[in-house]
Structures are given as C-alpha cells and as structure tokens.
Structure 1
Amino acid sequence: MPLKPARAALIPLFAAMALLAACDNQQESTEASAAAPQVGVVTVEAQHFVMTTELPGRTRAYRVAEVRPQVSGIIQKRLFEEGSEVKAGQQLYQIDDAVYAAALQSAEASRLSAGTLADRYEVLVKDRAVSQQAYDEARAAKLQAEAALERARIDLRYTRVSAPISGQIGRSAVTEGALVSNGQAQALATIQQLDPIYVDVTQPARELLALRRALDSGRLQKAGDNAARAVLRLEDGSEYEHEGKLEFSEVSVDEGTGSVTLRAVFPNPDRILLPGMFVHAQLVAGARSDAILVPQQGVTRNPRGQAVAMVVNDQNQVEQRIIQTDRTVGNRWLVSDGLKVGDRLITEGLHMVQPGMQVEPVPAANVDDATGTAATSGQEG
C-alpha cells in the first residue's frame, strides 16, 4: 500500500539525521585522538651505582735516582748497557783507583805506626816512664790514623760507581776517559723505577668538596675496598689491563688552577707505561644504592638553562619537573633531585606535549630498553 505523503517525507529527514550523527561521532573520535597523543615513557627505577671520576693525568716514575761520582778521577770503564735494567748495588762505572789504592796503603802504614806507639806508651805510662799527656796524645794519634784508614777504604770503594736503586737506566752522559769529580752538577746517568709507576691527576677543589659533603650527608656511600681502586685509559683509547689504587691527594690547593693533585700507583710489569705519558684515570669515588639514572632523551633545558623533565601522572596528564643533574653516565643523566622512583618519564614525543595535556603513554622505543636500565658505573661528564 502506498505510503502517506507525510510519512514518506520523513524518510529523507531520518537518513540525514543518521548521517549527521555518524559524522559527529567520527569528529569526536578524531578530536579525542588528537587531544590524547601517544608518548613514549620510561619508568624511573632506583639502581646501585658506583660513581667514578675520569681525570686526565701524566705518568711519573715510582723512584728516580741520578748517578753521580763521589770521588774524582778518570772513567776507565762503563759496565752497563744504556736502556737496560740494573739492580741496586750493580757496578756501573769504574774510576781509576791507582791514587786511592796508594792512599790506602799510606793510611795503613800510618795506622800501624800510630798503633805501635800507643801500645808502647800504654806500658810505659804504668811505670811513669812517660807522662799521661804523652800517652793520651799517642792514643789520639792512633784514633786519627784509624779514621784516615777508614776514609781511604771508602774512597777506594767509591771508585766503583754502583746503582743506588733497581730500575731502568738511561743513556750515559760520559764515556771512558772522561774526568769526573766529586760533587759535580752533571749526573753520569739516571735510573728510573718503572714497576710500579705513579699516575698524577688533578681534580678541581670544588668537586672534591662536593664529594666530601655527599659522603658526610650519607647521600653517597663509601665504596669499601673499591674506594681506592683506579683504572687507566691510554692515549690511543685502549684500556690498561692492570688495575691500580689511589695513594694520596695534595693537602693544599694550587692557587693558579684551583685544583688538587691525586696520585695513583699502577703495576707496570711489561713497561707499557713510560714516564711522561698522557693518560685518563678513572677513580672510584663512592657508591649510591638508590641512584636514579634517566635517558638523556627525556631531559631538556628551559630558557634559564635549568634541566627540565616531562612526566605522566596517574591521570595520564603531563607534568613539568625542574630536576637536578649531577653528571652524565654514558647516554644517561644521574638525577639527584626532581624525580622519584615510579615516575613515568617522557622520552619520545616531547615536541607534541605541553604541561597539563592529556596523553596516552606507551613504552618508549627510542631508548636501549623500555625500563631505562643503565649501566652500574659512571664517570664525570
């Protein structure tokens, strides 16, 4: 049966309303999607962190001894190979000893004469055949002769120039036939002990003060046996295979640079380290059991230069935090204030968000892993 005209006229109206409702739903869905963009987040976790400081430094010989003559004379022989290892007490040079041998014989004769006279007067003084003064003078002459004899023996022994320490000897400054003298300014050779070897590095005094304050306040724990541990990175970028330990720091601050000197000692059995080499020393400064390390992608700077982080709260809204960064640890920041465990840090999509905006958090894809796990050791950035 044909529809009434009024009812037939309503059909297009219902179709138009349905189409309009569908368009409104699609627009609302599009607006909701635009109002809640997806952002990549990393959940902040506490980690055990061993704090290290990397400082440039120079190697220094453990001991240095300059070989000098203690008697005068002509060098007869050189008894070592330049650049070789020598032992303490090993003979290095022979000085002509003819004069000193003759002086020793003369001293022995004087000692014999003075001793004989003193012994004779000792008998005669008992019988009052000589005065007590004469006997005392004879005894004094005997003692003087004995001292002269000992000095002659020492001078003769000093014609054998020996190594004062064990180590590597450098080039010889004299050759056979050269005249040397006692007390001369020029050293005959220099011996350096290279195993172990020192590494001297400098650290700004302000960083040393900050480290001590952190230890005193308990924010930073002492690293126990690792507190004196040190490792080296050589000038070519390779890591030195032997581990060293921290020896001491200077008790005064350099007025020109405002820094203190730290000294570490390293074993050097293969003589890889030579005096004067430039190295980087990593010194263990302490440990934190609840350190917060976050990816650098999640930290920006505001116009004031302050470090800023964006986090997603429980209502999936963006919050802006001013944070305190202490140092870099690889590709992460060590944060001391502004973030806490459980915070969801935005590392992906920062350019799309503003504080207070509603977002949809998803695991970040622009970091090493979704949890932001970092290495357990770090160094000064």
Structure 2
Amino acid sequence: MYGMKKLIVIALVVLAALVGYHFFNKAMKGGQHGGAGGAMPVSVAVVQKHAVVETQGFSGRFKAVNDAEIRPQVSGTIEKIHFKEGDMVKAGQPLFTLDSRAYKAAVQQAQAGFTEAQGALERGKLLFEEQVIAKREMETRAATYQRAQAALTQARVNLDYAVIKAPINGKIGRADVTMGNVVAPGMAAALTTIQSIDPIYVDFDIDEQTYLKFVGMQRDVSASKPKVEVALATDSNTYPLQGELESTDNRLDPATGSLRARAVLANADGNLIPGLFARVRVGSPDTVERVLVNDAAVGTDQSKRFVYVVGDDNKTAYREVAVGGLIDGLRVVLNGLNGGERVVVNGLMRVMPGAEVTPEVVDMVTLTSGTTPAPKGPAEVSPSAPAAEPVSATEPAQNN
C-alpha cells in the first residue's frame, strides 16, 4: 500500500513537470512572436555618429611658474616693511629696508679711496711719459686704482642690498621676520615668499596609454598641441578653464606606470593660487567620429555589454559592444556598432536573439518620436570608461 502511494506521487510530479514545460515553451514562442498579436512591438532608435574629442581625466595641483624665497644679501636690522600679506608686487619693488648707515659710510670711504687712487694714476701717467718714474711704479698705481674701483663697486652693491626688493612679479606671502629683528645672509628661514600668478601651471600624472595616444602626437611639429581643460574642486561637471600642455617628463615611472605632465593656463584675475586641487582633462588635438546611443539600448551580460540590432527583416541580433563615456546623455560605443543601424531602446529584457519584432522608431535621446539633435560643438568622451558601470567622461582618474 505504501509503495502504491509513492508511485502515484512520483507520477503526479512528472505530470506537473510536463505540463509546466508545455506552457513555458508555449509562452516563450508566444513572446518571440508577440503572442496572439504576432511580432513583439519594441522601440528602436537609429545609431548616430558625431565628431568627438577623446579625453582622459586626471587630478593634479596648481603650481607657480616662478617661486622665490626672499632672503637678505647683507646683515642689518629691519627698519621698514613695505608690503602687506597677499599684495601683488612687481619685480624691483622694495619689500624690506635695513639699517643702511654702515653701508653708506662704507661707500663714502670707498669713494675717497677711489678718488685718491684715480689721482695717483693720472699723475703717474704724466711722470711716466717724462720718464720720472719707472714702469713698475706705474703698474703699481694702476693696480691700486683697480682695487679701489672694485671696493667702491662692492660698497655700492651692499648699500643697494640694504633695500630688499622683489625679484619677480607675483603674490607675496606674510613677513616671517618683523621690524626690529636683525637678519643676515645664510639664515635658515626666508623673510617671505613670492609666487607668480599669471600664467600658472597645473602638474598632474598621466598614464602610459594617454601619453602614447595624445602627447606622442606632438612628435609631428605641424600638429596641434593636445587640449587641456581644468576645473576646481567646486566645479562639479564643468571644465571652465582652458589651457595647453606645456611639457612632459623625460621618463616613465616604472613603479606607477605614469609620468609627470604640466599644463599652463592664463590666470589674469589671480583667483588661482599654487597648491589648489585641480581636475584636468587632456584631449586629442583633432576630432574623431564615434557612435552614440542611449544607455537604455545597452544591456549587461556579466562583464560584457551588448545591444540588440534590428535588421531590415525586423529580426533582432545580439551584438557585443565596447562602450566609453557619456556625451550629451548618449553613451559612446567604441566598437561593435555602425552609424545608421537600428537598436532596441525599449523592451530590451523581453527580446530574444532572432525574434521578429514590430519596430517603432523613436528619438535616441528622449526615447520619443522625433529627431535626435546633434551635440553642441565637438563632444568629448573618455575612451577608457569602464564597461562594468557607466561613468561620465568628465570624471577624473584619481592619482595616488
């Protein structure tokens, strides 16, 4: 009796499995052919090509073109400070005045010695012509004159050093030594510092691929320099500052796989100061044609990206693609698609490869009926955007 019940249970399970498979297979066939209504209706959009500027993002720091530490050339007591912290100063502008009385006295003494030596030399020339003095005496007077002249020059230089002047144009920092203090050459601490402001550098590290792709193009002297756009930490998704690549280092760091690069940009208003964090985007000199699609058209299959292309026979085809960054709301497809092809943008999860569909053409951007507008000017894209998760082309890579 127990065995009979067991056989009945097994038979019921098998029957249920067969019935379930029958309805599942019927549903799958109906899904591929739109059920009772025929082919499945889907929204499709036409793949577009646009001229884009390929870019790569990095992080860096602003750096002064010229950076000067102000130190005394002679010793003395600071009598006056001629600036305030944060002032813009010009080269040659007085910054500190030292007690110069000793240096003025030294100039007077040297002047007297020079006058005496000059007179002796002039008299010696007359006496030598009259053969009153020997040639050796004449040479001695000439040497004395030269020493007196050098001593006067040195005394005047020391007097000039008593007024410490700005060596460069720029923004001056605070005075680390105040009035009344005695300063001297060789001091460990600088009196103050000056950082040039306009133009200003941005230093950042670039990877090997970016160097070879963008910077290596400069080997052609007729080619344009790579474009550089810079943003501050407060500029979320915009790069308002324009510059150009100034230079790159002469070697790649094998430990990090990167090398130092430097961009230069104008800073007429002086708002950018050395040390600020910067986001940098390096772009190729010329535009390239890239395929653009809506993110809704791109599916994820583990680590792969794919789209469904609708052919002329209105049947779908699975197509693996490689994607880049976003441009005006559209995803860049680096390879796998051609301009003019139709891709499914709505109903992607219901479509099977080879299924017949009824396509409704919609706008690639808005996914509604209409025409997709072209991006405003050359668009920008990061060619190295990861395939696992979409990211904006404006997101910089962080340096270690």
Q: Same fold (TM over 0.5)?
A: yes
- Contact residue 45 and residue 362 of structure 2 kept, 8 A: yes
Which residue in 2 is equivalent to 1:349? Answer: 347
- Contact residue 43 and residue 343 of structure 1 kept, 8 A: yes
Q: Encode CA deviations 1:92-111: one digit per residue, 9 max, x unaligned.
A: 11111111111111111211
Runs of 5+ unmatched residues, structure 1? 1-27, 217-221
Which residue in 1 is equivalent to 2:34? Answer: 33
2:139 is aligned with 1:141: no
4+ runs deviating over 6 angstroms: 28-31, 222-225
Matched ranges for 1:52-201 at <5 A: 52-201=55-204
Q: Pick from 311, 316, 319: which aligns with 1:313?
A: 311
Percent same amino acid at aligned positions? 33
Q: Distance in 1 between matches of 2:130 and 2:213?
A: 85
* 1:241 to partner: Cα distance: 5.0
2:204 is aligned with 1:206: no
Matched ranges for 1:254-273 at <5 A: 254-273=253-272
* 1:237 to partner: Cα distance: 2.5
- Contact residue 223 and residue 284 of structure 1 kept, 8 A: no
- Contact residue 68 and residue 168 of structure 2 kept, 8 A: yes
Runs of 5+ unmatched residues, structure 2? 1-28, 383-392, 394-400
* 1:280 to partner: Cα distance: 1.7
Which residue in 2 is equivalent to 1:274? Answer: 273
* 1:302 to partner: Cα distance: 2.8
Identify the range of structure 1 (81-90 vs 277-286) with the bigger mean alpha-carbon deviation: 277-286
Q: Pick from 296, 321, 324: which aligns with 2:322?
A: 324
Q: Distance in 1 between matches of 2:124 and 2:204?
A: 69
**Secondary structure in 2 matching 1:271:** coil
Which residue in 1 is equivalent to 2:233? Answer: 235
**Residues 1:244 and 1:289: Cα distance change in structure 2 (over 3 Å):** closer
Q: Encode CA deviations 1:251-308: one digit per residue, 9 max, x unaligned.
A: 32233422233322232233322221112233332444532111222222334x2322
Matched ranges for 1:207-226 at <5 A: 207-211=210-214
- Contact residue 60 and residue 276 of structure 1 kept, 8 A: yes
- Contact residue 295 and residue 372 of structure 1 kept, 8 A: no
**Residues 1:324 and 1:30: Cα distance change in structure 2 (over 3 Å):** closer
**Structure 1 vs Structure 2 CA RMSD:** 2.9
Identify the range of structure 1 (246-255 vs 138-147) with the bigger mean alpha-carbon deviation: 246-255
Match for 2:299: what amino acid?
Answer: T
Which residue in 2 is equivalent to 1:295? Answer: 294
Q: Distance in 2 between matches of 1:143 and 1:294?
A: 83
**TM-score using structure 1 length:** 0.81
Identify the range of structure 1 (262-271 vs 309-318) with the bigger mean alpha-carbon deviation: 262-271
Report the structure number with the largest CA radius of gyration: 1
**TM-score using structure 2 length:** 0.78
**Secondary structure in 2 matching 1:177:** coil
- The alignment covers a number of residue pairs equal to 346
**Residues 1:316 and 1:326: Cα distance change in structure 2 (over 3 Å):** same
